[in-house]
């Protein structure tokens, strides 16, 4: 009887180890989320509500030339890696001077050397920009790009509340920074 119980336990152990091996390893460009207000997920105050959030993946520079290299100038880019950025406005707001109704949108960019075109699109669940459909654009606007002395190793998005119902959505990678003005 002892041998039967030990055999059963051994088989269960082998089965659980083989199931654990069927999981994929961690993604090279992990997903992240940025909130407005920035502290919302970690230090939420009672009664405080989110204004916006962005889900995105964070590729690394890894000694590559980013803009004008792995991300070509003048072509639609998904902003990051894997799936396109998913931008959620929890309330009506103004993004880049354009009125945006509360809702969820995909976000793309067309990087240039001195300015970027930012695109909000009504279609969701894009992997990359391969099936991007311009006819579903909600709007586009341009913002200047800035050079940074500090290298941002992983593509990053951060919201900064400027007070008086104004904020900025800052995106950075390598030595390039773009800021999208928001009012709410």
Q: Are 55 and 157 in contact (CB under 8 A)?
A: no
Residue located via tokens 């800052």: 170
- Is residue 137 in a domain? yes
Overall number of domains in the chain: 1
CA–CA separation, 182 and 143 (whole Å): 12
Q: Which residue has the tokens 């109704």?
A: 101
Residue 56 lies in a domain: yes
Tens-digit pLDDT string for the chain (184 aa): 556 555 555 555 555 555 557 888 888 899 999 999 987 766 667 777 899 999 999 999 999 999 999 999 999 999 999 999 999 999 999 999 999 999 999 999 999 999 999 999 999 988 888 889 999 999 999 999 999 999 999 999 999 999 999 999 999 999 999 999 999 9
Structural domain containing residue 102 = 28-183
Answer whether residue 13 is part of any domain: no
Asked if residue 124 is part of any domain, the answer here is yes
Percent of the chain with pLDDT over 70: 86
Question: What burial class does residue 82 get, using C-beta atoms within 10 Å of its C-beta: 0-12 exposed, 13-18 middle, 19+ buried?
Answer: middle
Structure confidence by residue, pLDDT tens digits, 15-26 = 555 555 788 888
The secondary structure of residue 77, as a DSSP letter, is B
Q: How many helices (H) and strands (E) in the chain?
A: 2, 9
* In a domain? residue 8: no
Q: Is residue 44 situated within a structural domain?
A: yes
Tell whether 71 is covered by a domain. Answer: yes
Per DSSP bridges, beta strands 103-111 and 115-121 are antiparallel
- For residue 12, being part of any structural domain is answered with no
């Amino acid at each position: 009887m002892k041998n039967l119980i030990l055999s059963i336990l051994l088989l269960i152990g082998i089965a659980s180890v083989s199931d654990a091996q069927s999981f994929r390893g961690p993604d090279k460009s992990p997903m992240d989320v940025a909130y407005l207000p920035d502290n919302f997920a970690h230090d939420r105050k009672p009664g405080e509500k989110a204004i916006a959030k962005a889900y995105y993946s964070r590729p690394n520079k890894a000694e590559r030339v980013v803009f004008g290299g792995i991300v070509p100038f003048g072509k639609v880019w998904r902003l990051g890696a894997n799936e396109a950025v998913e931008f959620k406005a929890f309330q009506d707001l103004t993004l880049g001077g354009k009125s945006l109704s509360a809702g969820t949108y995909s976000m793309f960019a067309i990087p240039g050397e001195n300015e970027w075109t930012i695109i909000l699109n009504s279609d969701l669940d894009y992997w990359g920009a391969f099936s991007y459909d311009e006819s579903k654009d909600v709007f586009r606007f341009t913002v200047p790009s800035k050079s940074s002395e500090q290298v941002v190793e992983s593509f990053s998005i951060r919201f900064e509340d400027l007070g008086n119902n104004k904020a900025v959505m800052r995106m950075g990678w390598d030595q390039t920074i773009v800021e999208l003005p928001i009012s709410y």
